[in-house]
Amino acid sequence: MEFPYLLITLLFLASYLITTQLRRRSSNLPPTVFPSLPIIGHLYLLKPPIYRTLAKLSTKHGPILGLQLGFRRVLVVSSPSAAEECFTKNDVIFANRPKMLFGKIIGVNYTSLGWASYGDNWRNLRRIASIEILSAHRLNEFHDIRVEETRLLIRRLLFSSSSASSQVSL
């Protein structure tokens, strides 16, 4: 009966030691709050409203803070000068999106506009979207279709809510 608990404890301890060793090797990272838990990271620190929690952490630990949210590393920047440096000098580094399995499947191997990394492909997709889809001419051209689809959506919502309320009253 004690064997599964011992095994789980040893696995938890081993994963904790491995993650701390990996963190020590990457010395170019910003300071973190506390040691993060192996699977959830610093998620236990975030309480609603999140912006107040992050503000408290930044006043306590400094304007630039690294957090581990699950398996993702997150950089919290709370000073205007640091944010300006992130968006001007290091904009290409922060422009990329994280590689997730969902983006590979839904984003057609990271080639769609929402999942593509910053580069020639992304710039080309953005240009096509802004000229062909989101231009004023195209938006005016599809105005009647958008209005009709909105009417259909409202009718469906009203019908489903009225049928749901009639089922409840029976």
Task: At 43, list the tokens.
Answer: 């998620």
Element (H, E) at 127: helix 120-128
- Helix (H, G, I), strand (E, B), or coil: what is residue 32? strand
CA angle 98, 103, 107 (to 5 degrees): 130
pLDDT cut 70: percent of the chain above it? 87
The Cα 31–Cα 169 span in angstroms is: 59
Asked if pLDDT for residue 123 goes beyond 90, the answer is yes
pTM: predicted TM-score of the whole model, two decimal places: 0.56
Per-residue pLDDT tens for 80-107? 999 998 889 888 888 888 888 888 998 8
Kindly list the distances between the CA atom of residue 129 and the CA atoms of 30, 31, 145, in Å, as whole numbers in the listed order.
36, 39, 19
Per-residue pLDDT tens for 6-15? 777 777 767 7
CA angle 23, 44, 10 (to 5 degrees): 60
- Domain boundaries along the sequence of the chain: 29-95
